[in-house]
């Protein structure tokens, strides 16, 4: 029997039995420990975005984007698995906190290895990743012992995660192309573990809590984007040259980030999760956010690159610079459309508006002032969304 909501004024104890939390629990919100987890993981996001910016600026777009995608998977997958486990089994006792802090240490180790990963050496990233994943195994084993109703699922998670971690370590010995192929094979295995485990007996994750967790991480990634762009503009202004162009670019970047925030949060994520109420819906929604998170982070790298272009500190072309912003923005818009809006949404202006805006954003790459035009397109999409939904009931 799942226990009820943990009261705000509960007796402090160092240990509680790890039982599934109720999906109908009222006022379920993120805990300070979860917020600390997010804050530490955004360090790794910032490192990945910074290295992507450097790679693009040096003309290594292919290898830079690939390295960013690979490193971001380690960051995102560690965060995702912690968040869904916590939604179902968070006891907030001493053993749980210690295991979570070990996972945070693993995430920070991943952050420390980002620079080496972009040079082709993933040893530190793998060490940190394996540490945070094995700490998660300890949590699953505890759940298996103390929650009989989900024992088979918890053991499947524990065994599956452990096997894949052994394979991640073995992959380090693979050279070149074999190592790259091994990476994608292991990604598939990682993604399959939760699917196969949840088919046995679903865990009691909380829709509102999960939607809030994803929303908070989206906010943090957008905040990192603003910080990156602001620092780049600050450096450009310090030179005393091209001030007009840089201020204009800063305004466009700010409008763009504001629009991305508006479009993501206009439709609450929990509504989609509750309506779908299926393993496919929850998995596609949860997994699909890889594109939203990584695209939002990449926008920051692109804006930094645009600052360098306007201040003549980079040698790459204007079109390449524009694509570093427009491609992730287009990916963000299409991902939000698929996960929050849906092609069959009854409100046709927004159902059609998102993909149209994505196409126009990509087209803007080849015209004048592409970043500014992209910001205008995003702002217009916000205006369409507000106008089309005016007078409708608030989505629940």
Instruction: Residue 4: count other Cβ atoms within 10 Å of its Cβ.
Output: 11
Query: Is residue 56 very low, low, confident or very high in pLDDT (cuts 50, 70, 90)?
Result: very high
| Confidence at residue 394, expressed as pLDDT on a 0 to 100 scale | 61
> Does the domain at residues 207-389 carry the CATH identifier 1.20.1410?
yes
Higher pLDDT, 118 or 11: 118
Mean pLDDT of 243-267: 89
Rg (CA), the chain: 22
pLDDT digits (tens, 9 = 90+) for 90-110: 999 999 999 999 999 999 999
**Is 274 a residue whose pLDDT tops 80?**
no
**Is 370 a residue whose pLDDT tops 80?**
yes
Higher pLDDT, 196 or 246: 196
Nearest Cα neighbor of 82 from 4, 21, 2, 137 is 137
Nearest Cα neighbor of 269 from 215, 332, 318 is 215
**Is 366 a residue whose pLDDT tops 60?**
yes
DSSP state, 392?
S
Q: Which of 7-16, 25-34, 158-167 has the lowest mean pLDDT?
A: 7-16
Instruction: Residue 344: count other Cβ atoms within 10 Å of its Cβ.
Output: 7
**2 and 147 Cβ atoms separated by less than 8 Å:** no
> Whole-angstrom Cα distance, residue 109 to residue 187?
20
> Whole-angstrom Cα distance, residue 108 to residue 129?
9
Query: Is residue 11 very low, low, confident or very high in pLDDT (cuts 50, 70, 90)?
Result: low
Q: Which two tokens stand for residue 73?
A: 């998977």
How many residues would you count in the chain? 396
| Confidence at residue 115, expressed as pLDDT on a 0 to 100 scale | 96
Query: Is residue 228 very low, low, confident or very high in pLDDT (cuts 50, 70, 90)?
Result: confident
| Confidence at residue 28, expressed as pLDDT on a 0 to 100 scale | 87
Query: Is residue 292 very low, low, confident or very high in pLDDT (cuts 50, 70, 90)?
Result: very high
**259 and 379 Cβ atoms separated by less than 8 Å:** yes
How far from the centroid of its chain's Cα atoms is residue 254's Cα? Answer: 20
Residue with tokens 């997010």: 38
Mean pLDDT of 348-355: 90
300: which residues sit within 8 A by CB, 6+ positions away?
A: 49, 53, 224, 225, 226, 227, 228, 229
Mean pLDDT of 173-202: 94
Mean pLDDT of the chain: 90
> Whole-angstrom Cα distance, residue 79 to residue 219?
14
How far from the centroid of its chain's Cα atoms is residue 37's Cα? Answer: 13
Query: Residue 21: helix, strand or coil by DSSP?
Result: strand
> Whole-angstrom Cα distance, residue 255 to residue 278?
36
DSSP state, 340?
I
Mean pLDDT of 290-313: 90
Q: Which of 127-131, 153-157, 275-279 has the lowest mean pLDDT?
A: 275-279
> Whole-angstrom Cα distance, residue 121 to residue 228?
25
Q: Which of 144-158, 159-173, 181-195, 330-344 has the lowest mean pLDDT?
A: 330-344
**114 and 39 Cβ atoms separated by less than 8 Å:** no
Task: Enter the pTM of the model.
Answer: 0.91
| Confidence at residue 4, expressed as pLDDT on a 0 to 100 scale | 42
Query: Is residue 1 very low, low, confident or very high in pLDDT (cuts 50, 70, 90)?
Result: very low
Give the residue extent of every domain in the chain.
32-200, 207-389
Helices (H), the chain: 32-57, 61-89, 94-112, 114-118, 123-146, 151-171, 176-200, 207-238, 243-265, 269-276, 279-310, 318-336, 348-364, 370-389
| Confidence at residue 211, expressed as pLDDT on a 0 to 100 scale | 92
Query: Is residue 84 very low, low, confident or very high in pLDDT (cuts 50, 70, 90)?
Result: very high
Query: Is residue 346 very low, low, confident or very high in pLDDT (cuts 50, 70, 90)?
Result: confident
Query: Residue 3: helix, strand or coil by DSSP?
Result: strand
| Confidence at residue 201, expressed as pLDDT on a 0 to 100 scale | 84
Query: Is residue 240 very low, low, confident or very high in pLDDT (cuts 50, 70, 90)?
Result: low
Mean pLDDT of 335-355: 87
Mean pLDDT of 295-314: 87
Q: Which of 56-65, 120-129, 240-249, 359-368 has the lowest mean pLDDT?
A: 240-249
Query: Is residue 9 very low, low, confident or very high in pLDDT (cuts 50, 70, 90)?
Result: very low
Mean pLDDT of 44-56: 94
| Confidence at residue 308, expressed as pLDDT on a 0 to 100 scale | 84
């Amino acid at each position: 029997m799942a226990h009820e909501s943990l009261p705000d004024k509960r007796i402090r104890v160092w240990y509680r039995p790890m039982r599934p939390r109720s999906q109908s629990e009222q006022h379920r919100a993120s805990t300070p420990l979860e917020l600390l987890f997010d804050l530490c993981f955004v360090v790794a996001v910032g490192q990945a975005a910074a290295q992507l910016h450097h790679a693009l600026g040096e003309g290594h777009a292919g290898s830079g984007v690939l390295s960013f995608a690979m490193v971001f998977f380690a960051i995102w997958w560690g965060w995702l698995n912690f968040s869904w486990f916590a939604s179902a089994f968070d006891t907030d006792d001493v053993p749980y906190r210690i295991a979570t802090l070990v996972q945070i240490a693993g995430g920070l180790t991943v952050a420390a290895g980002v620079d080496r990963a972009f040079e082709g050496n993933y040893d530190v990233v793998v060490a940190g990743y394996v540490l945070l994943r094995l700490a998660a195994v300890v949590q699953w084993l505890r759940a298996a012992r103390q929650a009989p109703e989900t024992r088979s699922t918890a053991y499947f998670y524990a065994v599956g995660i452990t096997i894949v971690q052994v394979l991640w370590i073995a992959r380090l010995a693979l050279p070149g192309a074999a190592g790259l192929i091994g990476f994608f094979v292991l990604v598939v295995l990682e993604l399959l573990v939760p699917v196969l485990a949840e088919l046995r007996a679903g865990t009691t994750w909380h829709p509102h809590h999960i939607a809030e967790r994803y929303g908070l991480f989206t906010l943090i990634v957008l905040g990192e984007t603003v910080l990156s762009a602001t620092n780049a503009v600050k450096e450009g202004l310090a030179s005393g040259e091209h001030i007009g162009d840089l201020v204009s670019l800063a305004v466009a970047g700010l409008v763009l980030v504001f629009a991305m925030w508006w479009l993501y949060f206009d439709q609450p994520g929990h509504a989609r999760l509750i309506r779908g109420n299926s393993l496919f819906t929850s998995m596609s929604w949860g997994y699909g956010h890889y594109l939203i998170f990584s695209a939002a982070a990449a926008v920051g790298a692109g804006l930094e690159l645009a600052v360098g272009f306007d201040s003549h500190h980079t040698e790459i072309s204007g079109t390449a610079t524009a694509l570093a912003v427009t491609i992730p923005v287009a990916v963000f818009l299409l991902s939000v459309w698929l996960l929050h809006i849906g092609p069959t949404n009854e409100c046709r202006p927004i159902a059609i508006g998102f993909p149209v805006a994505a196409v126009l954003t990509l087209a803007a790459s080849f015209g004048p002032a592409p970043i500014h035009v992209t910001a205008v397109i995003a702002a217009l999409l916000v205006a369409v969304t507000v106008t089309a939904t005016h007078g409708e009931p608030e989505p629940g």
